[in-house]
A and B are shown apart, each in its own frame.
Chain A
Amino acid sequence: QQQVKQSPQSLIVQKGGISIINCAYENTAFDYFPWYQQFPGKGPALLIAIRPDVSEKKEGRFTISFNKSAKQFSLHIMDSQPGDSATYFCAARPGSDYKLSFGAGTTVTVRA
């Protein structure tokens, strides 16, 4: 079963707007939460990651917000650009294991 639930499946945003992707999990053993960006025909590329002892992490225009009590985390893409058009995956991994569990992905389209 899907251990990480991701929404929405797709979204369209205007250039300069904010893209928000949400993920939820049940396994409280998860302690590492990365986000990957994937372009068509390419493998996923690590974008940004967070540990549960931090509520927010920002790298450039990308911010992860983490809510441990709600078991939810989200990716915000600020000032979205056409080059950000890609599929984004959230993932999670427990400390005792090395297997990444991925969400189903969100296709982001940024319109110029």
Chain B
Amino acid sequence: ETGVTQSPTHLIKTRGQQVTLRCSSQSGHNTVSWYQQALGQGPQFIFQYYREEENGRGNFPPRFSGLQFPNYSSELNVNALELDDSALYLCASSLGLAIREQFFGPGTRLTVL
């Protein structure tokens, strides 16, 4: 059984650019959540996908968007990057909505210059 994987590991972008981050959920998991973790802070919920549909969203602007594919892998897209978007972006998968336990990937470190 493979765990949650994310790519790329690190990314450097400039203000105004767009970025796509990728996540492969743990085998058999159909629910993916994305979190933003600023340096020295706890993760903040961005949104969740269940069976290819957005199932819930945190306090993030529309320039944060996502997708989930039929194999349950997921993408996080951020448009018009701002300096404050610099953070560790974490993906977490779970085995369905009724299952509470979420398992996190190693994250993608995004730096916006």
Residues of A whose CB lies within 8 Å of any CB of B are 4, 6, 32, 34, 36, 41-46, 49, 89, 91, 93, 97-105
Contact = CB atoms under 8 A, between A and B. Distances in A.
B56 A97 contact: yes
Interface in B76-112: 90, 92, 97, 100-107
Interface of B: 4, 6, 31, 33, 35, 40-45, 48, 55-56, 58, 90, 92, 97, 100-107
Interface centre among A6, A43, A49, A101 (most CB of B within 10 A): A43
A43 B90 CA distance: 7
Contacts of A91: 42
Contact of A105 (B41, B44, B103): B41
A98 B104 contact: no
B68 to A, nearest CB: 14
A91 B87 CA distance: 19
Given A44-B90, A105-B40, A99 B45 contact: yes
A44 B104 contact: yes
